[in-house]
Amino acid sequence: MTTLIRNATILAMDAAHGATPFLGDILVEGDRIATIGHGLEAPPGAKVIEGRDRLVMPGLVNAHIHSSETFFKGRYQNMPLEVWTLYAYPLVGAPVIPERLLYLRSLLTAMEALKGGVTTMVDDFFDPPRFDLDRLGIVFSAYDAVGIRANVSNAIIDRHIFDTLPFAREIVPAALQAAIPDPGFTVDGYMDYCRSVFASLHGRGNGRLRFMLAPSAPQRCSVPLMEACLALAVEKGVPYHTHILETKTQAVTGEEFYGKTLIRYMHDLGLLARNVTIAHSIWVTDEDMVLMGSADCSIAHNCISNQKLGAGVAPVRRLLDAGVNVGLGTDGLCSNDTARIFDVMRAAGLIHGTATPDYERWVTSEEILTAATIKGARTALLDHVTGSLEVGKKADLLILKMDGFNFSPMNDIRHHLVYCENGQSIETVMVDGAVVVANGRLTTVDEDAVFAELREIVPAWLTEHAEVEARNKVFEPYMRELHRRATIRDIGINRYQGDMPFWTGQNRASA
């Protein structure tokens, strides 16, 4: 398939142009960008797209999502991570999702992503307590069918939940602790599973779909597991995708468990490396940021999820100063609650202005666009493949109409993309040279049929989930208490922007 897009405004996000737009033509041959220039002739048989009043830009990268949460969008509010987890990832009684629902859930996630302009999605897939090639294959099949590019994990936690949280063994009654079994995974067993994924699913869909290693967090995983995962990630050239310092409780976890920050802990174990992508990175110290930058790590900045769960605001300017590669993520859809990276771009473009009155250090629209495209691709170790419009790269691109509300009247395209656009200007989405969204509709799946089936079968699943939530509510007072204890601890840094400290009495009444 050959496509010529001509007379378009092009935002290439490559090293030569950055976020400075220019007029030109783009020729796509097969899955790749063949030529970018002016006055290009359409080869015989080529499809021609007129680019007048159109912006062509790289597809966006969602650097962190959990498709496992997609059926819970719009379900929760006003809970910190440690409490929310009880319901989003129940400790007891969670049923294994049936295969058809697993397929539809994956499909729905990728459909929303693509329609919102995300061509590459990093899905940190949880399927507790299972590691099953057939079930992971269902996720890959859904992404293959809808046509998205994705890195997919099968995330692991190999420690007992109450050994991953500070104060938990002390606070939670013994009978409740005993109600939850040890995960019981062996490092060798998990590594065998990962190797079988590399041998079978990795590389499906013309290389669009890849596997990555994802030990959930340093305090949730054994050292041998993390070491084995990093070694395999480096061997295979895929990310080691993890969560570090999302919440203040996790910052206190480092002090309580290891007498150091969780980043320092990773560093001392030799586990900070170029392949490592860290979701959140909020409660990092200045020294942590230096270690991350020196190791050439990436982060996924999930600033909407971080607001939804009250986790705090990541020090993005200082992370950038330290040389950390920053991409943008939605996080899962029950802490966001959409798969739209344009929303995250807008939020990330705005929130850092509240962190300091020093307006020369606020994050710019160019930096946000870079994070959403080429640097996002770097978090997925795919920056040589996608994330910018360059000859030889995969044709992963968006065509936006610039004659609607979000660009009228036109001032600075970069500002319009970050502060005005929400995805509604997207006309065409191309992944791997194939048009997957045309005139705002998915070409690869029947959207109406998917929504009809979801309406038919998901409500019963959610009713069942409500019963599971009720069973897990018994743990809430203890999670609340350990969150409270961590919150009032002075750890020398503050990533909250409101009154501090909470729960000391004087601030509650005026909150």
Residue 8 CB, nearest approach to Zn ion (Å): 36
Min separation Cβ 66 and Zn ion, Å: 6
Cα 122 to Cα 506: distance, rounded to the nearest angstrom: 42
Return the C-alpha torsion angle 306, 312, 317, 322, nearest 10.
-100
Residue placing its CB nearer to Zn ion in the complex, 334 or 426: 334
**Shortest distance in whole angstroms from residue 376 CB to Zn ion:** 15
Angle between helices 447-472 and 99-115 (to 10 degrees): 120
Contact between 437 and Zn ion by CB under 5 A: the answer reads no
* Region near Zn ion per CB under 5 A, out of 141-149, 273-281, 381-389, 482-490: 273-281
User: With b meaning 16 or more CB within 10 Å and e meaning fewer, what string describes 245-258?
Assistant: bbbbbbbbbbebbe
Q: CB of 300: closest distance to Zn ion in angstroms?
A: 8
Whole-angstrom Cα distance, residue 375 to residue 128? 31
Number of separate helices (H) and strands (E) present in the chain: 18, 17
Nearer to Zn ion, 85 or 487 (CB): 85
Near Zn ion in 59-88, by CB under 5 A: none
Residue entry with tokens 């971080």? 306
**Residue 215 DSSP one-character state:** B
What is the widest separation between alpha-carbon atoms in the chain? 75
The residue with its CB nearest to Zn ion is: 279
Among positions 63, 279, 304, 326, the unique one binding Zn ion when judged by CB under 5 A: 279
User: Which helix (H) or strand (E) segment is 63 a member of?
Assistant: strand 60-65
Instruction: Choose between 205 and 254: whose C-beta lies nearer to Zn ion.
Output: 254
Q: Give the Cα separation of 358 and 499 in Å (integer).
A: 20
Residue among 125 and 140 whose Cβ is closer to Zn ion? 125
Rounded to a whole number of angstroms, the minimum distance from the CB of residue 185 to Zn ion is: 19
Q: Whole-number minimum distance, CB 279 to Zn ion, in Å? A: 5
Query: What's the min distance (Å) between Cβ of 57 and Zn ion?
Result: 26
The interface region with Zn ion, picked from 111-119, 250-258, 275-283, 307-315 by CB under 5 A, is: 275-283
Nearer to Zn ion, 325 or 336 (CB): 336
CA distance 102 to 424: 28
Q: In the complex with Zn ion, which residue's Cβ is closer, 279 or 351?
A: 279
Q: Tell me, residue by residue from 343 to 382, as one string, x for binding to Zn ion by CB under 5 A and - for no binding.
A: ----------------------------------------
Is the Cβ of residue 102 or residue 279 nearer to Zn ion in the bound state? 279
Cβ atoms of 202 and 210 within 8 Å: the answer is: yes
- Which DSSP state fits 335? S
- Please choose, from the candidates 469, 444, 472, 460, the residue with its C-alpha nearest in 3D space to the C-alpha of residue 98: 460
| Closest CB 64 distance from Zn ion, rounded Å | 6
Backbone angles phi, psi at 373, to 5 degrees: -125, -90
Dist. CA 276–CA 234, nearest whole Å: 10
Report the residue number, 168 or 279, with the smaller CB distance to Zn ion: 279
Q: How far is the CB of 285 from Zn ion (least distance, A)?
A: 21
Q: At what angle do helices 187-200 and 133-146 cross, to 10 degrees?
A: 40
- Kindly state the helix (H) or strand (E) to which residue 121 belongs, with its residue range: strand 118-123
Listed ranges 24-32, 274-282, 414-422, 436-444: which one lies at the site for Zn ion (CB under 5 A): 274-282
Q: Between residues 11 and 221, which has the closer beta carbon with respect to Zn ion?
A: 221
**Closest C-alpha among 14, 13, 9, 45 to residue 26:** 9
Minimal distance, residue 124 CB to Zn ion, in Å? 6
Pick the piece of the chain touching Zn ion (CB under 5 A) from 128-136, 180-188, 271-279, 499-507.
271-279
* Beta-strand pair 434-438/441-442: antiparallel
66/416 with CB nearer Zn ion: 66
For the bound state, the minimum distance from the C-beta of residue 433 to Zn ion, rounded and expressed in Å, comes to 31
- Could you give the string, one character per residue 224-263, with x where binding to Zn ion holds by CB under 5 A and - elsewhere? ----------------------------------------
CB-nearer residue toward Zn ion: 62 or 425: 62
User: Rounded distance, CA 446 to CA 135, Å?
Assistant: 23
- Residue 308 vs 414, nearer CB to Zn ion: 308
Alpha-carbon span 167 to 195, nearest angstrom? 36
The C-alpha angle 285, 291, 292, rounded to 5 degrees, equals: 90
From the list 183-191, 276-284, 383-391, 414-422, the region that binds Zn ion by CB under 5 A is 276-284
What is the total count of residues that contact Zn ion (CB under 5 A)? 1
Residue pair 370/393 in contact (Cβ under 8 Å)? The answer is no
Closest to 476 (Cα-Cα) out of 87, 21, 9, 25: 87
Residues in contact with 317: Cβ distance below 8 Å, sequence separation at least 6, in sequence order: 352, 355, 356, 361, 362, 363
Nearest to 272 by CA among 251, 246, 314, 244: 244
For Zn ion, which stretch binds (CB under 5 A), given 45-53, 159-167, 272-280, 396-404?
272-280
Q: How far is the CB of 243 from Zn ion (least distance, A)?
A: 5
| Nearest alpha carbon to residue 59 among 353, 396, 323, 347 | 396
Is the Cβ of residue 110 or residue 279 nearer to Zn ion in the bound state? 279
Shortest Cβ distance from residue 216 to Zn ion (Å)?
8
Q: Which residues bind Zn ion (CB under 5 A)?
A: 279
